[in-house]
Structure 1
Amino acid sequence: MSYILRLSLLLNFLQRTLQVSTANSPYYTAAVVEYFPVQEIGLSPKDKTLKNVNNYLSLLNEVTEDIDIVVFPEATITTGFQNRNRTILLALATIIPDPSKNIVVCHQTSENYSQYLISLSCGAKNRAVYLVANVIEKRICTGNKCASDNWDFYNSNVIFDRNGTVVGRYRKYNLFGEYTLNKTSKAELSPFTTDFNVTFGQFICFDLLFDTPANALLRNGIRDFVFPTMWFSELPFLTALQAQEQWAYENDVNFLAAGANNPAVGSGGSAIVEGSRGAIIEDIIAQGDSKIYVANVTKRTPRSLLTSVETKITTEEIDKVALTLDNFFLLKDNLTDYAFQLINTTTTTSIDKSLCHGSGENILCCQFRVNLTVNSVTNGAQNSYNYAFLAFSGVRTFSGTYNGGIETCAVVACTNNTPATCGVRFSNYSTVSWPITFQSITIKGNFSNVLHKIQYPNSLRSNLRPLPTTNFKWSYENISQINSKKRTLALIEPENRLITFAIFGRDYSRDSDPRFSSSSHYSIIALVYCLFITLCVLLFK
């Protein structure tokens, strides 16, 4: 290597070192990657993993500014192979060194670690960046219930520091199916601390909906999170950005979400969220592609001293994005068991309604107040949404993989006048008109003030983005006599592209695994889901 080239590389390294965030900086620079995996037929599994990682690093190197941390999505290095036979898993999985050992994997050989793990370590070192990647990890089984090959396999995050040293590892606890992978005996809490004086918590995809490890990290004081995900968006409450942003808002945390992209199975959605300030970056790639997003993230300044993120967007801009999503596959929640009341928009513009669901100590009563206007439609569109009040306190299945307790008060768009049509998107957006403008909505519900319950402000526009935080108010009032709290969600800006406006609650005490349920209903749903996840694997192949 010539003297001039060496000097140039040294100056480049020094420039990066001087410009990256420090412990005293008011912000850090973060990047999240939405990634569409390699689709080439005929590539061997090993070659596909290497090409995916090379694409990762190419995206990273496209960024000209200095980055402190970059987050890549779930399951897009070894994509399509998570549910394959153990021989393929063993060939693709990698050992991850114990973070306490301070091992720079970039200096190792492929005899010890997978080549893609070495490449990721070298990529972190070359860019002097903290790098979060999701891999299949293998570990020699030490228990008394080992497979015949004597290996355990995990869906794991690995974190490299600026030198390529492994400084963090987390094994996914709440598996979304993934029946070929192992689960730790209890949820790991695996925070890691950076040289810019921020400690990050981490979890993966389906973990977002459960108490541990996510809420356990919150209880330990963590306020910045990295979140690799391959989310399958579901209407009306759990599309990707909707789920990410409601969690970050309610818990008032900085949240770096990197989504796997595949519109054919409804995967996509990445965001950088500054807690209750809102998203500073949010996007879903509708046509199958990859992109890296970069933003400066304010360190944990009290939110009372910060203004909300301004997100002014016209209806024309909303429609432009929504038109691109016609081929984006969306799951749908089953709302047929919800208490349901269609909103009469033909003769009334101001509506007050109470709706209850559940029984005994699990009854939930919701109060709704709506003010709306009905506009004439001149574009000749054939379809328009009806709207309904919904209330639910009960248990649902998450695509047959797990059962979860839900408490929800909602205003939801419906394609017809029955609960089964609520949370359904018209297939051709250009045929939809929007005659209804909600001038205001107020939703109130009383919830038990206990640790195993949490509620979120949940909203969605037709472009599959949540409402800006400037457009609603979210509050609660403790009612100490009955150990209860009143939660109120209020729309404070007119809205005419509304899909969902809801208080979405989880009751973790009612969760269960359908595989061990006596209900044949859940067993059938689990079987249907297995067929669905097999299709997803083939499409991600």
Structure 2
Amino acid sequence: MLNLFLLLSITTLFVAAEKNKSEFYTGGVVEYSSSILTDTSKNVPTEKYLQENLKAYLDFIKSAKGQNVDILVFPEATFNYARSREDMIKYGIELPNPKDKIAPWEHPKSYSETLQKLSKEVSDNQLYVLINLIEKEPCDTVNNDIKCKRKKPDGYNIYNTNTVFDRQGRVISRYRKYNLFNEHFCDMPDTAEVSIFETDFDVRFGHFICFDIMFKEPGLSLVNENQITNILYPSYWFSELPFLTAIQTHFGWAYANNVNFLSAGGNNPRTGTSGTGIIAGNKYVGNTFISGTIEKRLMISQLPKNVRSYKPDGNKIIKTSSVVQTPIEMQTFRPTEDWSTFDTRTWNITNGEVQRVCVHTDICCTFNIRMKEHEIPVGKIAYNYRLAANYTRRIYSYDRSCGELYCSIVACTTNNPKSCGRHFKDNTKLFNAIEFDKITITANIKVLTNPDDILIMPNTLDTSMTPIDSDLFNFGKLRSIRESGSTYERYQIESRDNFNNILTFGIYGRNYALDKFV
């Protein structure tokens, strides 16, 4: 046993030394469909689903090792998620404290068989792995050693938790989701943890979960206060048109913060849930995938360790081609389409003329658009387009009122503005009748007391539900201006190619100062 341990230690040190020499690392992300969430019959015992998921996860870990992946990320809510609080307690997993750096497979009497198997597989394959799971933490209503979160305690706190294993299968980092999205069976931690860990290939990672990306904490604390430029991100995203589909949102956040972003997505197209990607900040999209069908898929790509100083060189990096499904293949993907129920404002596009629209005194958008219109063949359907601008507060989930702003072109299915932010369900007849030769959009946004309370992002989407590659547009911050006694920050997005298949093209932002629970 001692000889085996020494052999593993020597192998690990050799691998680490070789990895440190490279300016890149290889990331892997898994898109995964869990039958417990996609099976509508609900007749199959939960135990059967969980065993199916465990086997699949172990297989993905082996596969990732075979492709020289350094770090692997699994999605949110696809491992031991259950349909009731009782089942979450039954199948939830107790975790060691990351500070103790315990490998559960070495402590069979202390941890569940499931956690031991995961830990052992990671150790056998010698890579870093993030697994999102339902964690159960015994709580005490008497001594209050660990306080129970529920008003009616049931003996446990239940958390939606990221668990990170190192190459030895040790638990080295944990993050409990703070911004819950209709997760009534889970408990909210007291604070938004800032979870960071270091690797033997000289990269520090931070991580958070799904809905967290819409809020200031913990994401911006990782990036701005702790200088983290590599983010691991499990999600089970419910896409919403026209600004908040999965990869569209994740790409915009990664671009605006200029960070490597490894996003692993749950898959359930009938609820608009799909979207997995590896994004190298504002440099390039390494690999993305969104699907209209049930899928289980591993995607890998190389990423620069120092993305902010990296200058793309096609001769050095292996840029994996994304898997893009056609609009016809995406017909079964069902995003939410209730944008028109919010305080939306749209205008007709005037071809070739500069148009300026203002909302209150908080935002003014300038549009300069050149486009060609093609005659729609008989029997075909085509999108119309309108300008959209707003600075408002809207409801996310059921209990969060949040500040949102945008200047954008949006697709509409008819001439009626209420059809904007929707997509055609039958794409077999789709014809691209509008070709945009040039799009320039500038947003003048009133400066806040605390500049850290706002995040402005590029926001693009085509008819395959994927964002436009960063090679095809320019986005950035311009010189600020004074106007009517106020200071405005200016942002601009400009196309570098012509497009005939867009659903959204513009600027999207969040004003965190307007956020509150309702």
Q: Tell me the TM-score normalized by structure 1.
A: 0.85
Partner SS state of residue 55, structure 1: helix
- Which residue matches 1:70? 72
Alignment of 1:184-203 (within 5 A): 184-203=189-208
Query: Match for residue 102 of structure 1?
Result: 101
- Deviation (angstroms), 1:307: 5.3
Alignment partners' CA distance in 2, 1:38 and 1:389: 41
Alpha-carbon spacing, 1:265–1:52, altered in 2? closer, same or farther (3 Å): same
Aligned twin of 2:276: 270
The equivalent of 1:434 in structure 2 is 432
The share of aligned pairs that are identical, in percent, is 31
Q: Distance in 2 between matches of 1:403 and 1:299?
A: 36
What does residue 58 of structure 1 align with? 59
Residue 354 of structure 2 aligns to which amino acid in structure 1? Answer: D
Is this contact kept in 2: 1:338–1:419, CA < 8 A? no
Q: CA deviation at 1:415?
A: 0.6
Contact 1:16–1:66, Cα closer than 8 Å, also in 2: no
Residues 464 and 160 from structure 1, CA distance in 2 versus in 1: closer, same or farther, beyond 3 angstroms? same
Letter in 1 for 2:433: P
**Which stretch of the first structure deviates more once superposed, 400-409 or 70-79?**
400-409
Worse overlay, 16-25 or 409-418:
16-25
In the alignment, which residue of structure 2 is the partner of 1:152? 157
Q: Does 1:162 align with 2:159?
A: no
Q: How does 1:94-243 map to 2 (within 5 A)?
A: 94-109=93-108, 112-141=110-139, 142-143=146-147, 146=150, 147-219=152-224, 220-243=226-249
| Deviant stretches of 4+, over 6 Å | 308-314
Q: Give me the whole-angstrom Cα distance separating, in 2, the residues matched to 1:131 and 1:15.
A: 15
Letter in 2 for 1:433: F
**Higher share in helix:** 1
Letter in 2 for 1:61: K
Q: Which amino acid aligns with 1:417?
A: N
1:404 to 402, 405, 424: 402
**Paired residue secondary structure (2:233):** strand
- The AA in structure 1 aligned to 2:154 is D
Shift of 1:212: 0.2
Alpha-carbon distance between aligned partners in 2 of 1:148 and 1:297, rounded to the nearest angstrom: 45
The C-alpha deviation readout for 1:83-109, integer Å capped at 9, x for no partner, is: x13x22211111111111111011222
Alpha-carbon offset, residue 114 of structure 1: 2.9
> Structure 2 counterpart of 1:71, which letter?
V
Asked whether 1:294 is paired with 2:300, we answer yes
Instruction: Output the CA distance in 2 between the equivalents of 1:388 and 1:420.
Output: 11
| 1:286 partner amino acid | G
Kindly indicate whether residue 496 of structure 2 is the aligned counterpart of residue 492 of structure 1: yes
Q: CA offset at residue 305 of structure 1?
A: 2.5
Give the superposition deviation at 1:310.
Answer: 11
State the AA in 1 paired with 2:480: I
Letter in 2 for 1:27: F
The corresponding residue for 1:417 is 415
The reply to whether residue 338 of structure 1 matches residue 344 of structure 2 is: yes
Residues 16/288 of structure 1: CA separation in 2 closer, same or farther (3 Å cut): farther
Aligned mates of 1:497, 1:209 — CA distance in 2: 27
Number of equivalent positions? 494
**CA-to-aligned-CA distance 1:191-248 (integer Å, 9 cap, x gap):** 1111111000100000011100000101110000100000011111111110111111
CA contact (8 A) 2:163 2:171 kept: yes
Aligned-residue offset at 1:354: 1.3
Counterpart contact for 1:16–1:128, Cα < 8 Å: no
SS at match of 2:55: helix
Corresponding position: 1:28 with 2:34: no
- Supply the distance in 1 between the matched residues of 2:443 and 2:90 (Cα, whole angstroms): 52
Counterpart residue number, 1:511: 515
- Aligned mates of 2:43, 2:122 — CA distance in 1: 30
Residue identity in the other structure for 2:168: N
Distance 2:125 2:427 in 1: 42
Cα distance in structure 2, aligned partners of 1:312 and 1:196: 21
CA deviation after TM superposition for structure 1 residue 144, in Å: 6.9
Q: Distance in 1 between matches of 2:320 and 2:476?
A: 23
Over 3 Å counting, the alpha-carbon distance change for 1:271 and 1:144 in structure 2 is closer
1:384 paired residue number? 382
**Residue 57 of structure 1, CA deviation:** 1.4
CA–CA separation in structure 2 for the residues paired with 1:476 and 1:468: 19
Aligned to 2:142: none
AA partner of residue 31 (structure 2): E
Alignment check: 8 A CA contact 2:92 2:135 kept: yes
* Distance in 2 of aligned mates of 1:29 and 1:428: 38
Shift of 1:484: 2.8
**Structure 1: segments with no counterpart, 5+ residues:** 515-541
Structure 2 unmatched ranges of 5 or more: 140-145
Task: Return the offset for 1:182.
Answer: 1.2
1:356 aligns with 2:358: yes
- Greater Cα shift, 66-75 or 17-26: 17-26
Residue identity matched to 1:391: A
Partner of 2:455: helix, strand, or coil? strand
- Aligned-CA RMSD value: 2.8
Is the Cα contact below 8 Å between 1:252 and 1:275 reproduced in 2? yes
* Distance of aligned partners of 1:20 and 1:390 in 2 relative to their CA distance in 1, 3 Å threshold: farther
Q: What is the TM-score with the length of structure 2 in the denominator?
A: 0.89
- In the TM superposition, residue 302 of structure 1 has moved relative to its aligned partner by 4.0
Deviations 1:268-294 (A, max 9, x none): 110011001121100113210101011
